[in-house]
Amino acid sequence: MTNTTPPVGRASCPSGRARSPTHAPQDNAKRLGCGSVALYGVLVLNAGLVLYPIFWLVCSSLRTSHDIFARPWGLPTIPELRNYLLAWREAGIGRYFLNSLVVTSISLVAILFVSAMAAHVLARFRFRGQGLIYNLFLSGMMFPVFLGIVPLFLLLTDLRLCDTRLGLILVYIAYSLSFTVFVLTGFFRTVPRELLEAGLVDGCSEFGVFFRLMLPLGRAGIITAAIFNFFGLWNEYPLALVIINSDELRTLPLGIASLVMVQQYKTEWGALFAGLVMVMIPTIIVYALFKRQIVEGISTGALKG
């Protein structure tokens, strides 16, 4: 009897020709290569759309008003550094910059300290009403700030805190507590309870556990919350507009808005663009210094939170 079974290891092909096993990896490599090129193209386009307005703003801050209107998209022929001096001194950007620095720094330190203590309690202890307190903090993130501007203004007026740095700082602290407690609670819950209990066994008090263990172990979350709060407070406008009235206490966003209104009757547009550049510089510096911590903090929260 003749054996008609095909030899083992040889596959039959209807066309009479076997397909080379190297074709599939080559096709996959081509697809991946085309996909990478398209992805990098989209990223380059997005980077250009983001960076070009900043580049144009910096170039305009180094030009005269006549040059800006004559050649809107041109480069500065002779850099006009006088615009920065004019914006800093005569337009009052230096005073506004100092006010923003003082208000933002004090508010940020107070926000992180109070929020870290509240998040430590919510993440570590179990007590009646814990979920209710945590949900109250979350509800603060969903409350539109514009709904509370009028009662807030009346309250600060009765307390004689309107048009003061202290009033603005207290409002900023209350405004940022919900987000900061929410973020830090998620990070503190990832800290192993065994480490905290070991600290208590070694003789640490509850405050010692908080300052010596919880804060160092939750450093990534604290840095992340600090950076996002800094960006929000540095550029905050509606609350400062309602609370601050005097020119001596205006923050940078209020000062820039006032400078824009003044430029409707003057021609120093280069000074206006110079002021906008000075507003951007601190946020760019902070992001450049802490970009790795921002990515690590967000990744840690996404994986463990």
Q: How does pLDDT run across 39-55, given as a tens digit for each residue?
A: 888 888 998 888 898 89
- SS3 letters across the chain: CCCCCCCCCCCCCCCCCCCCCCHHHHHHHHHHHHHHHHHHHHHHHHHHHHHHHHHHHHHHCCCCHHHHHHCCCCCCCCCCCHHHHHHHHHCCHHHHHHHHHHHHHHHHHHHHHHHHHHHHHHHHCCCCCHHHHHHHHHHHHCCCHHHHHHHHHHHHHHCCCCCCHHHHHHHHHHHHHHHHHHHHHHHHCCCCHHHHHHHHHCCCCHHHHHHHHHHHHCHHHHHHHHHHHHHHHHCCCHHHHHHCCCHHHCCHHHHHHHHHHHCCCCCCHHHHHHHHHHHHHHHHHHHHHHHHHHHHHHHHHHHHC
Mean pLDDT of the chain: 82
Phi, psi of 199 (to 5 degrees): -65, -40
- The answer on pLDDT for 112 being more than 90 is yes
Mean pLDDT of all residues in 246-271: 80
User: Residue 66 class from Cβ within 10 Å (0-12 exposed, 13-18 middle, 19+ buried)?
Assistant: exposed
Residue ranges per domain, the chain? 33-80, 83-304
Please give the Cα distance from 232 to 173 (Å, whole number): 12
Please give the Cα distance from 104 to 166 (Å, whole number): 12
- The answer on pLDDT for 27 being more than 70 is no
170-203 residue pLDDT tens: 999 999 999 999 989 988 988 888 888 888 888 8
117-140 residue pLDDT tens: 999 999 888 888 888 999 888 888
Domain 83-304's class?
mainly alpha
- The answer on pLDDT for 305 being more than 50 is no
- pLDDT given for residue 166 in this prediction: 94
Lowest mean pLDDT across 2-6, 123-127, 150-154: 2-6
- The answer on pLDDT for 6 being more than 60 is no
